Amino acid sequence: MTPSATATILDGKLTSQNLLDSLSVELGALTAQGAPLPKLVVVLVGDDPASQVYVNKKAKTAQKIGMLSQLLTYPQATSQAELLAVIAQLNQDASVHGILVQLPLPKHINTLDVITAIDPKKDVDGLHPLNMGLLMSGDPSACKPCTPAGVMTLLNAYQVPLAGKNAVVLGRSNIVGKPMGLLLLQENATVTYCHSKTADLPAVCRQADILVAAVGVPNLVTADFIKPGAAVIDVGINRLEGKLVGDVDFASAAQKAGFITPVPGGVGPMTIATLMANTLFLYRQAQSRH
Ligand code: NDP
């Protein structure tokens, strides 16, 4: 029998809904003023089923809160030149405030070339090298990558202490791991990055007051990785025997952690809500330039 969980659940569904409600109020005020509305354009190339689910969720959420959104889908065989032409057009279009190219792209397209082609002022996922540089230098005008920014919102919502705490980030991708560590550092945590070559992963993780798993290996993080009372954030989304599971073995980890995110219902909804918040942020920046 599985003993009952003791950790406080960091409820991403609830926290993201609170964020979406407040965005909805802001968008309602803009509509009432007759102001132009923020617009998000999501570009999907190819037929990756997981990506299709994500982009549909994004478009649906935008619609729900009264934000303009457009989903542009292109076949797998789309050339890089064709995709770059689409981006150039969106860059020129003053009614578009946020551009998100859903990753991964098909193998024949160079991801960095595409991300670099997005106008940094419309780079809603904060992946353009300029925005990554701004994030690195702690500049508040940077649009922060949605998933790690969403994790920070969740930690703040539950008042998880960060300053002076040890944070361990498992994973060093540009989209999650690296910016996650930078955001925790900005909040004065002492940050350690782990990856596939890290020696004695459980021992390093056991130092963590905040442990973020963004690896893509189902149930890698077990109770043995966790310092009693730690905040455990599971970014992973994996399919295991037809079920959605994270990188953390929830049942055992929840016995030892102080706070823990479920999968689903943890980081996933925070990512989508943060995408909406980022679009509004870019819109406000664009308005202030006029
Ligand atoms: P990547 O594959 O780009 O990066 C994975 C990282 O994990 C790499 O740094 C890799 O190390 C490291 N790693 C892999 N295996 C191990 C291991 N056995 N031990 C220690 N480290 C390991 O993935 P992403 O960062 O894009 O995504 C990570 C997970 O988060 C995935 O499950 C993805 O689906 C999910 N995700 C969830 C989102 C959400 O909204 N909830 C949004 C984005 C992603 P190395 O660098 O050495 O190869």
Best residue among 127, 146, 176, 234 to mutate for probing ligand 1's pocket (most ligand atoms within 8 Å of CB) is: 176
Torsion of CA 209, 215, 220, 221, to 10 degrees: 10
In the predicted model, is pLDDT for residue 163 greater than 60?
yes
Cα 219 from Cα 202, distance rounded (Å): 13
Task: Please tell me the residue having the least CA distance from ligand 1 atom 42.
Answer: 147
Pocket lining: 38 vs ligand 1, CB cutoff 6 Å: no
- 83 φ, ψ (degrees, to nearest 5): -65, -40
Task: Please tell me the residue having the least CA distance from ligand 1 atom 39.
Answer: 268
In the predicted model, is pLDDT for residue 1 greater than 90?
no
Catalytic residue ranges: 58, 102, 125
178: left (phi over 0), alpha (psi -120 to 50) or beta: alpha
In the predicted model, is pLDDT for residue 4 greater than 80?
no
In the predicted model, is pLDDT for residue 203 greater than 80?
yes
Runs of H (alpha helix) within 42-104: 49-65, 80-92
Q: How far is the CA of 188 from the centre of ligand 1 (A)?
A: 24
Runs of H (alpha helix) within the chain: 12-33, 49-65, 80-92, 111-117, 129-136, 146-157, 177-186, 201-205, 250-253, 267-289
Q: What is the pTM of this model?
A: 0.97
Pocket lining: 236 vs ligand 1, CB cutoff 6 Å: yes
Structural domains present in the chain: 34-119 (3.40.50.10860), 145-268 (3.40.50.720)
Q: What is the pLDDT of residue 6?
A: 86
Per-residue pLDDT of 164-178, as tens digits, reads 999 999 999 999 999
Per-residue pLDDT of 57-94, as tens digits, reads 999 999 999 999 999 999 999 999 999 999 999 999 99
Pocket lining: 65 vs ligand 1, CB cutoff 6 Å: no
Torsion of CA 265, 276, 179, 214, to 10 degrees: 20
140 contacts: CB under 8 Å, gap ≥ 6: none
Which percentage of the chain shows pLDDT scores above 90?
96
Give the mean pLDDT of the chain: 96
Task: Please tell me the residue having the least CA distance from ligand 1 atom 1.
Answer: 173
